[in-house]
Structure 1
Amino acid sequence: MAKQSAVTLSDRRAGLSFISPSLLVMLALVIFPLGFGLYISFFRTNLRNQWDFVGFKFFIQSLSDPSFLKSIGITLVFAILVVLGNLVLGTVLALILNTEIRFRVLFRAILILPWLFPDVVVALIFKWIYNPLYGLLNYGLSALHLIDKPIAWLDDPNLAFAAVVISCIWKGYPLVMILVLAGLQSIPKDRYEAASLDGAGGLKSFRFVTLPGLLPVLIVSIILDTVWWFKHFTIVWLMTSGGPIDSTKVVSIDIYRVAFQNFDFGRASAMAVIVFIICLAISIIYRRLVRDNEE
């Protein structure tokens, strides 16, 4: 028994030694920044020689600020529209790629390319497409005689938000497509054969076989995609910088401006903590939904 206990202790030490590098990296890159961000949210600070403790003042100030609440609302609408677009487009393309079509492997490689492009490249591509003078979109619409004069897509408050959403959908649908395609290939073929023997057509097979089989994958896709786009910054900032007239000012841009334009790091940290809590709530909902689905 003593020998067995000694072996067990040795195994535990070996296990700790194996995970210690990744644990240290996790502490340095995740735990410490989160803890430090929470810490400075209680101070009015310039991160150098000013550390005035203010308690929960910045949290209360942020939650009572109409501009911040408006940016939260814009972010919610932005995230919902992008996630819905990714879900519909990614699912439709996955269903097509799951069939026996010619050049299926080539189409898969092409359709996954937007996800491989950096956000900066995607933003610059779509800024060129939406350009009112030499943009491809205005050129195509003019060639089809659908518009009489160029449209400044990113300068119109009523159009800029939709233009940014479309750009982000183009960037984000491949992830949903890959997840749904993997889910489709994991559904046993005998379920479709049983449904066919029971007289179910294509629509009924999709409703009673495909959708239930895809439900776990769809839940994961929706929640992860929502968290990702709720905190997104790069594409929106590079395309519109939150304008025009704050029509595309998502919460990440609001936090950036407070921190690096107003140099109010404590309040910016408090705003970031609020966003973190919202994302954490989304992840808790995700865990509960997955657990209920498994049960």
Structure 2
Amino acid sequence: MKPWRLPPHLLLLLPAVLILAAIVVIPLGLSLWSSFTPFRLTRPDTMYDFIGLRNYARLLGDAQFWSAFGRTVLLLTVALNLEMVLGLGLALLIERASRGQRILRTIMMFPMMFSPVLVGFQFKFMFNDNVGLVNNALQSLGLTDRAIPWLIDQNLAFISIMVAEIWSSTAVFAIFILAGLMAMPRDPLEAARVDGCTPWQTFRYVTWPFLMPFAFIAMTIRSLDVARAYDIIKIMTDGGPARRTEVLWTLISRTAYSDARMGMANAMAYIAILLSIAFTLIFFRQLSKARSQIAAEW
């Protein structure tokens, strides 16, 4: 009998499969298993105690978890919509520029070049009570006579985080929408002008339907980033004051490493992953509708 051997194409793929299994599949499987255990970092033996869905059942009645969940959804909703509006405005302005368009596109991409950690430190300094740029500017303009506690007040701290997120990622929407504007055929626009459409009607019924797929692609990418928001919040407020800016991933980090409850943290993480998948499915469905509409109308 001839010895059995793997086909050559499978042998070529084998190193990549082994690497993926080592760095993705095995850790993912272990984290999923630990979410069904009371695993604590201080007690490694608890990794082998299967408790079923007890961690998930506890999360259903955990007010702290649902507060962080609600803030995550709020951050997703507000940040994504504002980024889309601002990105659309930037893209329209740059597309209309007759000179220096390449320079403007380069400048627009600058915020994306900074790491989230650097953005967090930057805005933490800007919103500082005593030496922050924002308070100094407001006091110099006479708009306020006292320092505003941006990172101490529970409402202002969350707004500050949103400002940092929006500043760092609006360029994602601007780039995708600008690509859509540059790819858009001019014949429908000229036909709309000939028919007597106002600029708003032209944008509403001609330009925006064509740009919607580009906006939904950007929204899908950004929804995954915002749902995993951690770096900026960790640097700026660390979930404070009194955990009023805690979102899912900062709560997961605190539960896993500060409280050493890795099993419970992994259960939270899988619920957060389901949230990301849900938003992605919603945006992909809207993307399919937008593409179908363009195919029918154009």
TM-score, structure 1 length as denominator? 0.90
Deviation per residue, 1:209-255 (Å, 9 max, x gap): 11010111122222322222012100011100001122210111111
Shift of 1:191: 1.6
The match for 2:71 among 44, 58, 74 is 74
Q: Is residue 89 from structure 1 mapped to residue 86 from structure 2 by the alignment?
A: yes
2:183 is aligned to 186
Q: Aligned partners of 2:212 and 2:266: how far apart in 1?
A: 36
SS across alignment from 1:53: coil
Bigger CA drift: 62-71 or 196-205? Answer: 196-205
Structure 1 residues 26, 192: closer, same or farther in 2, change over 3 A? farther
Counterpart of 1:39 (choices 22, 33, 38) is 33
- 1:36 partner amino acid: L
**2:46 aligned residue (50, 67, 85):** 50
Of the candidates 218, 239, 252, which is equivalent to residue 221 of structure 1?
218
Matching residue within 189, 202, 206 for 2:203: 206
Structure 1 Cα separation of the partners of residues 131 and 167 of structure 2: 21
Structure 1: 5+ residue runs without aligned partners? 1-12
Query: What is the CA-CA distance between 1:160 and the residue it aligns to?
Result: 0.6
CA distance in 1, matches of 2:11, 2:57: 44
- Find the counterpart in structure 2 of residue 153 from structure 1: 150
CA distance in 2, matches of 1:277, 1:268: 14
Identity among equivalent pairs (%): 33
Using the TM superposition, give the Cα deviation of residue 15 of structure 1 relative to its aligned residue in structure 2, in angstroms. 5.5
In structure 2, relative to structure 1, the CA distance for the partners of 1:170 and 1:21 (3 Å cut) is farther
Quick one: distance in 2 between partners of 1:199 and 1:280?
Answer: 44
- Quickly say closer, same or farther: Cα 1:19–1:174, change in 2 above 3 A: farther
1:124 aligns with 2:118: no
Shift of 1:284: 2.2
Separation in structure 2 between the aligned mates of residue 101 and residue 121 of structure 1, nearest angstrom: 34
Q: Quick one: which amino acid aligns to residue 50 of structure 1?
A: T
Whether the 8 Å CA contact 2:152–2:241 is kept in 1: the answer is: yes
Q: Which one is further off, 243-252 or 196-205?
A: 196-205
Residue 3 of structure 1 aligns with which residue? none
- Aligned pair 1:65/2:59, yes or no? no
Q: Deviations over 1:107-151 (max 9, x none)?
A: 211121111100111011111111111111111111100111112
Q: Secondary structure, in 3 states, of the residue corresponding to 1:44?
A: coil
Cα–Cα, structure 1 residues 85 and 294, in superposed 2: closer, same or farther, change >3 Å?
closer
* Local SS of the residue matching 1:45: coil
Residue 266 of structure 1: CA displacement?
A: 0.4
The SS at the match of 1:43 is coil
**Change in 2 beyond 3 A, CA 1:182/1:30:** farther
Deviates further, 120-129 or 274-283: 274-283
Which has the larger displacement, 181-190 or 221-230?
A: 221-230
Q: Deviations over 1:41-90 (max 9, x none)?
A: 01112353332211100011112111101110011111111111211111
Residue 247 and residue 46 in structure 1: after superposition, are their counterparts in 2 closer, same or farther (change >3 A)?
A: closer
Contact 1:179-1:217 at 8 Å conserved across structures: yes
Question: CA–CA distance in 1 between the matches of 2:199 and 2:16?
Answer: 48
1:285 — aligned with what? 282
Query: 1:115·1:174 contact (CA, 8 Å) conserved in 2?
Result: yes
Aligned length: 284
List gaps (5 residues or longer) in structure 2. 1-6, 293-298
Q: How many Å apart are 1:29 and its aligned residue?
A: 3.7
Find the aligned partners of 2:263 and 2:164 in 1 and give their Cα distance: 32
Report whether the alignment pairs 1:136 with 2:133. Answer: yes
8 A Cα contact 1:46 1:264, kept in partner: yes
- Residue equivalent to 2:96: 99
Q: 2:273 aligns with which of 269, 273, 276?
A: 276
Query: More displaced, 280-289 or 161-170?
Result: 280-289
Q: Read off the aligned partner of 1:31 and give its amino acid letter.
A: V
Higher mean C-alpha deviation, range 191-200 or range 123-132: 191-200
Deviations along 1:152-206, whole A, 9 cap, x unmatched? 2101112111011101100110111111111111111112112122222321111
Compared CA separation, residues 16 and 294, structure 1 to 2 (3 A): farther
Cα distance change, pair 293–19 in 1 and its aligned pair in 2 (3 A) = farther
Match of 1:232 in 2: 229
**Bigger mean CA deviation after superposition, 77-86 or 284-293:** 284-293
Tell whether 2:248 aligns with 1:254. no
